[in-house]
Amino acid sequence: MNEKLNDCQLQLRSMVDQYADDCTSGEMQFYDSEAKNYYEPYDWDYCVNRLGEMEDVMVLLAGGGPTIWLNTREQVVEGYWGSDSYKKPIYDYEYIIEYFAEHYNAMESQKAINLNKRGQL
């Protein structure tokens, strides 16, 4: 049975598809001073292994209406709007992991420096 999609479902799919296409094509840049268009994530969660190394990241790309996450662990862009959900696989997103790993490592280094200054390390 083919069910016709409503406007919210169509908009959710369109947004997820666009984010996934930008990710896979290398166009999803974050805070690049040289880029005219760049993404400003609402939030992000690091996926860290037991050794404290960042392996993956979940980036909140949209919120408020549809909620859309880029999830490198699951290799998808996933969107939710009310009871509707939609996912699209992503490929060639290593540049995004590298970007957030750089920030994670800088943050961890700064934490270690601060602890060392306080004599807690």
The Cβ-side half-sphere exposure at 71, using a 13 Å CA radius, reads 15
Write a three-state SS string for 55-87.
EEEEEEEECCCCEEEEECCCCEEEEEECCEEEE
Average confidence (pLDDT) over 15-25: 97
Percentage of the residues of the chain whose pLDDT score is greater than 70: 88
**What was the pLDDT predicted at 17?**
98
Domain boundaries, the chain: 7-117
Residue 121: is its pLDDT beyond 60?
no
The model's pTM is: 0.84
